[in-house]
Structures are given as C-alpha cells and as structure tokens.
C-alpha cells in the first residue's frame, strides 16, 4: 500500500543509494525510459502507438495504445499505480508491445483530468501532489472501475491489431492491482489472466474487497507481493489464493525481496533485478492467453 509507511521505506532505500527524493525526482522520466529499454525485444520502430479516446458510461477516457506494427496480437489492459498514466507506464507498455501484445494503458483519472495528471511518481510524495490527487482517487470507485473495464475491453476487441481468438490479459500496479482483479469480474468471458504487482488491498475485510469478486471471473491470477506489504498483512495473499481455489481457479502468490513500487521505473523503490524477474513471470502468465 502506497502510504506513509512505504514512503519511509522509500526514503531509506534512496539513502542507501546516496540519493535524496529531490535527486531522484530529477532523474524520474529519463530513468523510466532507460529502465524499460529491452535490447532483446523488437525495436521501437516496429511498434505503433497513439493516444485514444474511449467512450465509457461515465465520459470520455483518454488512454495510451501501443502495438506491433504488423499482425494481430493478444490484448492487455494495463492499470497504472496511484500516480496515473505517465511516461513510466508508456515505456512499460512499449516494452510489453515489443513482446507481441497490443497494450492499452488506462487513465483511471479521466473523470477529473486528462493524462498525465502527475509527470512522475515523485510528485505523489509532495503535499501538493497528494492534494491534487485526493478528489480524483475518490472518483475511482469499484463500480466505476468495472464499468471502465467493460468499455476498455470492448475497445480492444474492436481494434484490427487485436486477435480476438485470444483472451485479454490485465495487469495493475499499486491501486491498479485491485482494478485488474475487478476487470476480470467485469468481463469474465474475455479476460483470461490477471497480474497484480504490489497491489493495494486485494483481500481485505471490506464488503467490496476485490477477492470477493474472483468467483465471478474465469481468469488465472498472479500476485506479485512486495516484502514490506507482506509484513504488514501476511495473510492477505492466503485469503486471495483461497478465494480463487474455492472458485476452481488458479492463483499464484509470490513475495518478492523488494519493496512496494519495485516494478515501476520512476518509483524510489524500483529494483531493476527484481522487476525483470517479475516481468518474466508476467510473460509466463500471458502465455496462457
């Protein structure tokens, strides 16, 4: 969960690297792009990308769509972390597209503003950044997320670059983890694989906890859990995997030796080695689409 506790962990990680938050913020976007450069995958010239506007029951959502220049490919719906759609997630989407996927990155805050709402994750850790996002976060309700997911899946299925014979994958980071899980319940016939990376509150005591929706889906799940999140609630992953098992579904939970935010390249907690391992696990999950 992205709160004051994880903020202290981030500061400690930066201190070990001899950096302050101010120093890291300056590196932000450039570091994100560099971290997602994959020399093994197809070059960026082999991709096509554009900003798209998708009609939803709640308005018009501006999203980022990237895909291989040729052919049809399985689709992926990517939900960003609390900082929203920005260059870091566009870089991650390009990396995934280079592996053969048509990737839509959602702007979960479209009801309030067009992306980018924040230029980097560092802004979220400022008083002004938190104040700016607070009302936007409140507008992203569980019900709204599920309406969005249905609209986004319909958009993907209408694109000539998408292979509709294959299931859709969805992945989310931080607050995007629950969004990905809810997406699978919103579009059970189409979404076949779900990955949550350091997801926030995926199996709580709340009556609208994401894990309670698992039985409405037909997906395979991957929970990549941050070590500092796991320390705070070590039973959460077990509650989730039990819900999946009771529904006859597969859910794998892995606690990574890295802190909340380790997968996102403009996060102070970014851990390149562990992020690459998580990425390989994600690609393994998507082989089932």
- pLDDT at 14 (0 to 100): 40
Q: ∠ at Cα 47 (41, 50), nearest 5°?
A: 140
What is the predicted pLDDT for the residue at 119?
83
How is the chain split among helix, strand and coil, in percent rounded to 5? 45, 20, 35
Domain architecture of the chain: domains with CATH? 4-286 (3.40.50.1820)
Residue 128 contacts residue 113 (beta carbons within 8 Å): no
**Rounded mean pLDDT for each run of 10 residues along the chain, 289 residues in total:** 48 48 49 52 80 98 98 98 96 97 98 93 86 96 98 98 98 98 98 97 96 98 98 97 98 98 95 97 97
Structure confidence at residue 124 (pLDDT)? 78
pLDDT at 38: 53
Separation between Cα atoms, residue 214 and residue 206, nearest integer Å? 15
Nearest CA-CA partner of 193 in 109, 86, 76: 76
Helices assigned H by DSSP within 98-221: 127-139, 142-157, 176-186
The phi and psi torsions of 6 (rounded to 5 degrees) equal -70, -30
Phi/psi of residue 109, each to 5°? -100, 15
Task: Please give the pLDDT value at position 121.
Answer: 83
For 182, how many CA atoms within 13 A lie in the half-sphere containing its CB? Answer: 26
Which of these, 217, 152, 149, lies nearest to 185 by C-alpha position? Answer: 217
- The predicted model scores a pTM of 0.89
């Amino acid at each position: 969960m992205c709160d004051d506790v994880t903020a202290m962990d981030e500061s400690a990680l930066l201190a070990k690297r001899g950096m302050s938050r101010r120093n890291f913020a300056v590196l932000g976007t450039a570091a994100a792009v560099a971290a997602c450069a994959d020399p093994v995958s197809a070059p960026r010239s082999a991709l096509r990308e554009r900003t798209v506007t998708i009609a939803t029951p709640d308005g018009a959502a501006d999203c980022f769509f990237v895909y291989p220049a040729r052919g049809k490919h399985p689709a992926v719906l990517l939900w960003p972390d609390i900082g929203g759609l920005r260059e870091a997630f566009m870089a991650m989407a390009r990396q995934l597209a280079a592996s053969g996927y048509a990737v839509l990155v959602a702007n979960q805050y479209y009801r309030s503003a067009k992306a980018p709402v924040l230029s980097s994750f560092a802004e979220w850790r400022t008083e002004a950044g938190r104040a700016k996002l607070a009302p936007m976060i409140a507008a992203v309700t569980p019900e709204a997320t599920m309406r969005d997911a249905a609209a986004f899946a319909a958009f993907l299925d209408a694109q000539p670059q998408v292979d509709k014979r294959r299931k859709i994958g969805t992945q989310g980071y931080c607050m995007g983890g629950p969004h990905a899980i809810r997406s699978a319940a919103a579009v059970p016939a189409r979404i076949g694989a779900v990955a949550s990376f350091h997801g926030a509150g995926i199996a709580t005591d709340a009556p609208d906890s994401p894990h309670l929706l698992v039985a409405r889906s037909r997906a395979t799940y991957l929970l990549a859990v941050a070590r500092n999140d796991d320390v705070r609630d070590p039973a959460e992953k077990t509650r989730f995997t039990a819900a999946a098992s009771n529904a006859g579904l597969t859910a794998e939970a892995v606690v990574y030796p890295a802190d909340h935010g380790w997968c996102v390249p403009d996060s102070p907690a970014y851990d390149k080695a562990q992020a690459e391992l998580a990425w390989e696990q994600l690609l393994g999950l998507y082989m089932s689409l």
